[in-house]
């Protein structure tokens, strides 16, 4: 049979990961078989093992790639000298951008990390916790310097993260909402609220 197509650049492994993310997103990790993945790629299942180590390695690659992008971004935001509000805005916008540009991967990282094996699951959760802690620190600082209302900072972080992580079902409303409107109005909503 024909070889796995490698459009433009990127290794075959890259293409496999990409299609895996697509399937893991739409069918879930556990319900996606290597035979299905192979079929999408136009190849027999065992052929995949010329390029990857295992099914779970695919999940690891997806989760850590996404996790590291977010960690990198928050570090850079922490380092700049914007206001707290500005930093929170940048974080919200980054989440939306990531969700739009890397939908499958981000979705999988957010929803399928449960199926990571140790020690990867622990590592991944540590990345998440570290990210959440950064956000918490930011919100607390905002409350301290009076930029932000004195609400419970855990709740604020929870609300923001829930809202941006749940973005996957924006997909269905694509036609109705441009990325700009989504970003702008979500930032307004999560920072300034919606009531007059």
Residue numbers 67-126 binding a copy of itself by CB under 8 A:
85, 111, 114-115
Q: Does 158 bind a copy of itself (CB under 8 A)?
A: yes
Rounded to the nearest angstrom, the gap between the alpha carbon of residue 70 and the centroid of all alpha carbons in its chain is 8
133 binds a copy of itself (CB under 8 A): no
**What does the per-residue mask of binding to a copy of itself show for 164-183, with x meaning CB under 8 A?**
xxxx-xx--x--xx---xx-
CB of 35 to DNA, least distance (A): 5
# chain residues binding DNA, by CB under 7 A: 22
> By rule CB under 7 A, what string of x and - marks binding of each residue 54-83 to DNA?
xxx---------------------------
Output the smallest distance, CB 39 to DNA, in A. 10
DSSP letter at 113?
Answer: G
The rounded distance, in Å, linking the Cα atoms of 42 and 103 is: 23
Q: Is 152 in the site for a copy of itself (CB under 8 A)?
A: yes
Question: Taking CB under 7 A as the rule, does residue 34 contact DNA?
Answer: yes
Own/partner pairs for 110-116, CB < 8 Å, 24+ apart? 110/165, 110/168, 111/25, 111/28, 112/24, 112/28, 112/29, 112/59, 112/62, 112/63, 113/59, 113/63, 115/29, 115/30, 115/56, 115/59, 116/56, 116/59, 116/60, 116/63
Half-sphere exposure of 34 (CA within 13 A, CB side): 15
Q: According to CB under 8 A, which residues from 28 to 47 bind a copy of itself?
A: 28-31
- Chain positions contacting DNA, by CB under 7 A: 1-4, 12, 32-36, 38, 43-47, 49-51, 54-56
């Amino acid at each position: 049979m024909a070889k796995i197509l490698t459009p433009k650049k990127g290794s075959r492994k890259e293409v496999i990961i990409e299609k895996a993310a697509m399937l893991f997103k739409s069918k879930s990790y556990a319900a996606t078989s290597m035979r299905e993945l192979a079929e999408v790629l136009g190849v027999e299942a065992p052929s995949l093992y010329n390029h990857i180590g295992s099914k779970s390695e695919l999940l690891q690659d997806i989760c850590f790639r996404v996790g590291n992008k977010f960690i990198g971004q928050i570090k850079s935001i922490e380092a700049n000298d914007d206001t707290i509000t500005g930093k929170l805005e940048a974080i919200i916008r980054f989440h939306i951008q990531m969700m739009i540009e890397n939908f499958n991967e981000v979705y999988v990282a957010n929803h399928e990390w449960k199926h990571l094996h140790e020690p990867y699951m622990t590592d991944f959760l540590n990345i998440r916790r570290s990210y959440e802690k950064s956000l918490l620190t930011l919100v607390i600082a905002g409350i301290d310097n009076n930029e932000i209302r004195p609400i419970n900072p855990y709740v604020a972080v929870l609300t923001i993260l829930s809202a941006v992580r749940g973005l996957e079902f924006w997909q269905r409303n694509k036609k109705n909402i441009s990325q700009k409107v989504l970003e702008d109005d979500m930032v307004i909503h999560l920072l300034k609220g919606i009531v007059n």
